[in-house]
Chain A
Amino acid sequence: MKLAGVDEAIVRHRQLVDRARRRRAEMEHRELPRIEIGMATCGLAAGAGATKEAFEEACAVNGLHFSINPVGCLGHCYAEPLVVIHNPGFPPICYHNVTPGKAKALVKAFLQEGDPLYEFVLGAMEENDLIPAVTDFPRFHLEKRVVMERCGVINPEAIDEYLAGGGYSGLLKAIQVSPDAVIEEIIQSGLRGRGGAGFPTGRKWRLARDAGGSHKFIICNADEGDPGAYMDRTLLESNPHQLLEGMVIAAYAIGADRGIVYVRAEYPLAVERMRTAIRQAVEYGLLGKGILGTDLDFECTLFEGSGAFVCGEETALIESLEGKRGMPRHRPPYPVQKGFRSLPTVINNVKTLSSIPHILKHGARWYSGIGSPASPGTAIFSVVGKVVHPGLVEIAMGTTLRTLIFDICGGVPNHRRFKAVQIGGPSGGCLPESFLDTPIDFDSLTKAGAMMGSGGIVVMDEDDCIVDVTRYFLDFTQKESCGKCTFCRIGTLHLLNGLHRMTRGEGRDTDMEMLRTLSEEIKEGSLCGLGKTAPNPVLTTLKYFPEEYEAHVAEKRCPSMRCRALTAFYIDLDLCARGCDACVGSCPVEAIFTTVSRKKAIDQAKCVKCGECVSACPPEYNAVLKVSPPQLAPVVERPKEE
């Protein structure tokens, strides 16, 4: 069955692309300097707004003509605000951490006088003889960018920029073949859902296509809620049309006539840009009735989520869309059988749908050639925590954790030792150093006890306490539990209370056993994915770091000296300098006093363990030390006041 009006669609798409390319050529032809500023949420938070103003002001003062193009996010969070300057006669140069001051200096030195200010340069965006290219850095060349290829390069609010780069040609390819052939292509590509569970996307579509009914829905799950994960936000903010194109292709394949993008309301910029993108696509005839002149109809709307982590679970998401309280339902029936308004519904993650246009454009064979056989393609991770170069990284599946953390992201800063990595956010697991050579793919991670999850990676060093970090993640899932089923509602609180006790030095001998058995039972007994995965951090840390738990429970000692109740500060009288009182003023509670030898000591009863005195003590003395358990701190008598 072929779609009517495909020839017409090819002509129309050609016209759209030609017009977009003409517009871009005109802009490039004007020989004016072009400044691209990363204006996604991360860039704006780092001060990209002020940088933009500084550029505008400096150019106005100097009477320069130029154009500013707000682009999305390149994923290099450590270097925000990022600016790329296209100055005629130079290669495009990328500058990092561009403050308003740097912006003014760049306008004067680079745009006016032709000095690229090498000290601020991150690298050139293309190979040249003048400036080392960014691709020389491992952070750039070890990545494999497919979905994020255009992020930070194009203006997300201009559909023309997406079209000029060959946008919507995947859709064009799709409608030239039958829906079944599209599904077959996706099955062949081996694409697995990027939301975390890794269900084969093609199979999901096949089930939805085979489900009867005149109306079907395609829903994009952009309710990203994991602490420390933000790749979906970046994709929405930096390349929304890629997602829309994926949704239209999915709609054509499964026969859906309505689409909904479920974005969490805490992403206001993503919501705004997505709305703009939908409006533009409708104007260009790429959405709505009779897409590109064919008889394909697909309407797409945006729905703002209402701030619950559990709504990322697909059945709870549907409840929320239907205007009910976001509580998960039992599966089966799966949404592909009975979803939104009891109609067949496909729910795919942003990254899954954003991969679709590339698979159609380049073919299933190309896509399955990337990554590992069982998990083809690329994965996007937000690597945060104790790494030198945090940010978004897109890598081919099968890359090892070591490559990701140490080669691409620069390893652990400040000469600290790597301790553990939490993969998959609060539902994932915590892996120790011995797992660094694990390839990152769905099956290897699941085997190790972690999971792919949505792709949040938190790196921890020797200063992080495993028990405390586990408590943090559990605190999150416990608060976000919807309260429906017994195991998740009450069970996770008992786990959390157990961990709380340990970090306070009140751990009981039975607590480790309680954590282990209750975790297993919660995993087995819970209703939805949230409850089933909530104990993962506890189980993996108990398995890989039992000695930390034992130290907390048996010795009341925190090996990383993180848990306040289990540590104490004291001043080494051999190191302390007589007469120095740098620490005294820094103490917020007046716990530091002068001893009879005119050195300083800490009154343990008053100390709140803020650590201010450690920073205040001059580095040549470094006399303030930390111990665990707290009883080890030597007791110094406060001299009697006369």
Chain B
Amino acid sequence: MVRIVVDGREIFVDEGKSLLQGCLDHGIFIPNLCYLEDMEDPPGSCRMCFVEIEGMNQPVVSCKVEPKPDMVVNTSSSELLRLQRTSLRLLLSNHEAKCKACPSNRRCILQELVKRFGVRIRPRRYDHIDREVAEDIEHPLLQIVHSRCILCGKCVHVCQRQYGSPILTYARRGIDTIITAFGDVEAMYALCETCLACVEVCPVSALLLREPSGAIEIPADGSPEATIPCGGATP
């Protein structure tokens, strides 16, 4: 156990856990989008979990910090709030907020953060950037709504955890980066059918099951009705 001080409160966190997890364990909320508890090496890509640590001249992402004895941490300065708000606004400017039509409505992490940080779901400061992705993901069971995806990478992580070399992966670069599936269709069908952890982990309902009625390529021996879990878009 390591003793650290967070926002003036003394807490003891497990060694080997990240500062973010340590705080979350003690009910101290630090916003995060790309972090999962079982991650050995969190990607640190959402840039939300910033904290200030005494002795460091810049805010750091807490998911990549190992708690050191007597570390003094601040999670809510105006400087941090500014960075986190910008990060959230940037994400929202590239996220199609048609909440009513979204299965994640009312249990969406973005909605929660919007409320907490007092920003608009359609930020006025930045123009909206459409994510125009023409082609569909080549996966027999999954479909991706790219305009909802916030590229948190949780799906890639759980897929990697499951199979070593993941079926879901990033493609392209810059603003055109997307999540896509890569590999042999039949192999994907066999592997993914029993897993679908990615659909479960997606925080914004961007990864969905294909509608059974949709044109799906099904291996000769399988029948779509029997193999695809029914109906609902999110588990």
Q: Which of A's residues lie within 8 Å of B, judged by CB? A: 308, 310, 325, 327, 329-330, 332, 478-487, 489-494, 497, 514, 518, 521, 524-527
Q: List 13 A-B contacts (CB under 8 A).
A: A310-B173, A481-B174, A481-B175, A486-B90, A489-B174, A491-B86, A493-B129, A493-B175, A518-B86, A521-B83, A524-B59, A527-B44, A527-B47
By a CB distance below 8 angstroms, the chain B residues around A494 are: 90, 93, 126-127, 129
- Are B86 and A525 interface neighbours, CB within 8 A? yes
A489-B151, A497-B127, A518-B86 as given contacts; A478 in contact with B175, CB under 8 Å: yes
A487 touches B173 (CB 8 A): no
Among A327, A330, A518, residue most surrounded by chain B Cβ atoms (within 10 Å): A330
Judging by beta carbons under 8 Å apart, are A483 and B177 in contact? yes
Instruction: Please determine whether A482 and B58 come into contact, CB atoms closer than 8 angstroms.
Output: no
Which residue of chain B has its CB nearest to the CB of A501? B127
Extra inter-chain contacts (8) besides given A330-B44, A485-B44, A521-B86, CB under 8 Å: A325-B169, A478-B175, A487-B87, A490-B91, A525-B47, A525-B50, A527-B44, A527-B47
Q: Which residues of A contact B172 (CB under 8 A)?
A: 483
Enumerate chain B interface residues (CB-CB to A < 8 A): 41, 43-47, 50, 58-59, 61, 64, 82-83, 86-87, 90-91, 93-94, 125-127, 129, 151, 153, 169-170, 172-177
Known: A494-B93, A525-B50. A486 touches B174 (CB 8 A): no
Say yes or no: B129 contacts A527, CB within 8 Å: no
CB pair B90–A490 under 8 Å, yes or no, is yes
CB distance from A639 to the nearest CB of B (A): 44
Q: Is A490 within 8 A of B175, CB to CB?
A: yes
Contact, CB under 8 Å: A330 / B126 = no
Contact B83 A525 (CB under 8 A): yes
Does more than half of chain A's interface fall in helix, strand or loop, or is it mixed? helix
Task: List A contacts of B90 (CB < 8 A).
Answer: 486-487, 490-491, 494
Q: Within the assembled complex, what's the spacing in Å between the Cα atoms of A631 and B37?
A: 61
Whether B174 lies near A330 (C-beta < 8 A) is no
- Determine how close the nearest CB of chain A comes to the CB of B224; give it in whole angstroms: 32
Query: Is the pair B175, A486 in contact by a Cβ cutoff of 8 Å?
Result: no
In the complex the two chains form, is B45's CB within 8 Å of A490's CB?
Answer: no
Return chain B residues, CB-CB under 8 Å to A327.
170
Q: Is the CB of B58 within 8 A of A524?
A: yes
Nearest CB in chain A: distance from B219 CB, A: 29
A204 to B41, CA, bound (A): 24
State the CA gap A100–B139 with chains docked (Å).
58
Ranked nearest first, the 6 interchain pairs of A and B with the lowest CB-CB distance are A483-B177, A490-B90, A330-B44, A481-B174, A330-B64, A484-B45
With beta carbons under 8 angstroms apart, the residue of B64, B87, B169, B173 that contacts A525 is B87
Q: What residues on B are CB-neighbors of A518 within 8 Å?
A: 86
**Which residue of A332, A483, A486, A526 contacts B170 across the interface (Cβ within 8 Å)?**
A483
Which residues of chain B are within 8 angstroms of A485 by Cβ–Cβ distance? 44-47
Instruction: For B125, give its contact among A481, A514, A525 (CB under 8 Å).
Output: A514
> Is the contact region of chain B dominated by helix, strand, or loop, or is it mixed?
loop
Write the nearest CB–CB distance from B18 to chain A, whole angstroms.
11
Shortest CB-to-CB span from A439 to chain B, Å, is 26
Residue with the highest number of chain B CB atoms closer than 10 Å, among A478, A484, A491, A492: A484
Contact with B175, one of A483, A514, A521, A527 (Cβ below 8 angstroms):
A483
Q: In the bound complex, do residue A486 and residue B91 qualify as a contact, i.e. CB atoms below 8 Å apart? A: yes
Name the distance in Å between A225's Cβ and chain B's nearest Cβ: 13
How long is the Cα–Cα vector from A486 to B92 in the complex, in angstroms? 10
CB B64 to nearest CB in A, in angstroms, measures 5
Give every chain A residue within 8 A of B47 (Cβ-Cβ): 485-487, 525-527
Residues of B within 8 A of A484 (CB): 43, 45, 151, 153, 177
Asked if B173 contacts A308 (CB within 8 A), the reply is: yes
Return the chain A residue nearest B86 by Cβ. Answer: A521
Is the beta-carbon distance between A483 and B176 smaller than 8 angstroms?
Answer: yes
Q: Would A479 and B87 be within 8 Å (CB), given that A485-B47, A526-B47 are in contact?
A: no
User: Could you tell me the distance between the alpha carbons of A325 and B151 in the complex, rounded to whole angstroms?
Assistant: 15
Which residues of chain A come closer than 8 Å to B173, judged between CB atoms?
308, 310, 479-483
Cα-based distance from A482 to B173 in the complex (angstroms): 5
Residues of B within 8 A of A479 (CB): 173-174
Point out the residues of chain B lying under 8 angstroms from A480, CB to CB. 173-174
Q: Are B46's CB and A486's CB within 8 A?
A: yes
Nearest Cβ on chain B to A348's Cβ, whole angstroms: 25
Minimal beta-carbon separation of A592 from chain B (angstroms): 38
Question: Inside 8 A of A521's CB, which chain B residues have their CB?
Answer: 82-83, 86
Asked if A490 contacts B93 (CB within 8 A), the reply is: yes
Which residue in chain A gives the minimum CB-CB distance to B46? A486
Assembly CA distance A549 to B13 (angstroms): 50
Q: Which residues of A contact B151 (CB under 8 A)?
A: 483-484, 489
Bound-complex Cα distance A526 to B58 (A): 12
Instruction: Determine how close the nearest CB of chain A comes to the CB of B63; give it in whole angstroms.
Output: 9
Residues on A with C-beta less than 8 A from B86 are 487, 491, 518, 521, 525
Residue of A nearest to B169 (CB): A325
Residues of A within 8 A of B61 (CB): 330
Q: How far apart are B33's CB and chain A's nearest CB, in angstroms?
A: 9
In the complex, A492 Cα to B126 Cα: how many Å?
Answer: 12
A487 to B175, CA, bound (A): 11
Question: Cβ of B125: which chain A residues have Cβ within 8 Å of it?
Answer: 514
- Which A residue sits closest to B174, measured CB to CB? A481
For B126, the closest partner residue in chain A by CB is A494
What residues on A are CB-neighbors of B58 within 8 Å?
A: 524
Q: B188: shortest Cβ distance to chain A, in Å?
A: 19
Chain B residues with CB under 8 A of A526:
47
A478 to B174 alpha-carbon distance, docked (Å):
6
Minimal beta-carbon separation of B116 from chain A (angstroms) = 17
User: A residues within 8 A CB of B46?
Assistant: 485-486
Bound CA–CA A489/B151 (angstroms): 10
Q: Please, which residues of chain A bring their CB within 8 A of the CB of B94? A: 490
Query: Please, how many angstroms separate the alpha-carbon atoms of A486 and B94 in the complex?
Result: 10
Q: Interface centre among B50, B59, B177, by most A CB within 10 Å?
A: B177
Q: How far is the CA of A514 from the CA of B90 in the complex (A)?
A: 13
Find the B residue at minimum CB distance from A531.
B47
Q: Which of A491, A493, A518, A525 has the most CB atoms of chain B within a 10 A radius of its CB? A: A525
Q: Would you give the shortest CB distance from A536 to chain B, in whole angstroms? A: 16
Q: Is the CB of A486 within 8 A of B87?
A: yes
Q: Are A490 and B129 in contact (CB under 8 A)?
A: yes
In the docked arrangement, what's the CA distance between A250 and B126, Å?
48
Q: For residue B126, which residues in chain A have a CB less than 8 angstroms away from its CB?
A: 494, 514
C-alpha gap A480/B177 in the complex (Å):
11
Distance between Cα atoms of A478 and B129 in the complex (Å) = 14
* Bound CA span A521–B48, Å: 12
Docked complex Cα distance between A490 and B92 (Å): 10
Q: Which of chain B's residues have a CB closer than 8 A to the CB of A493? A: 129, 174-175
Distance A490 CA – B45 CA, assembled complex (angstroms): 12
Docked complex Cα distance between A492 and B93 (Å):
13
In the assembled complex, the CB of B173 is this many whole angstroms from the nearest CB of chain A, namely: 5
Chain A residues within 8 Å of B45, by CB: 484-486, 527
Give the CA-CA distance A325 to B180 in the complex, in Å. 13
Give Cα A564 to B9, complex, Å: 59
Q: How far is the CA of A524 from the CA of B86 in the complex (A)?
A: 11
> Which residues of chain B have C-beta atoms less than 8 A from A487's C-beta?
47, 86-87, 90
Given the complex of chains A and B, what is the CA–CA distance between A308 and B173 in angstroms?
9
CA gap between A489 and B131 in the complex, in Å? 12
Bound-complex Cα distance A443 to B59 (A) = 23
With the chains together, A50 CA to B146 CA distance in Å?
52
On chain A, the residues within 8 Å of B59 by CB distance are: 524-525
Residue of A nearest to B85 (CB): A521
In Å, the complex CA distance between A78 and B58 comes to 45
- What's the minimum C-beta distance from B75 to chain A, rounded to whole angstroms? 16
Can you name the residue of chain B whose Cβ is closest to the Cβ of A526? B47
B114 to chain A, nearest CB (A): 15
A330 to B173, CA, bound (A): 18
Chain A residues with CB under 8 A of B41: 329
Residues of chain A lying within 8 A (CB to CB) of residue B175: 478, 481, 483, 489-490, 493
Q: A522 to chain B: closest CB distance in Å? A: 9
Q: Are B91 and A524 in contact (CB under 8 A)?
A: no
Please name the residue on chain A nearest to B150 by beta carbon: A486
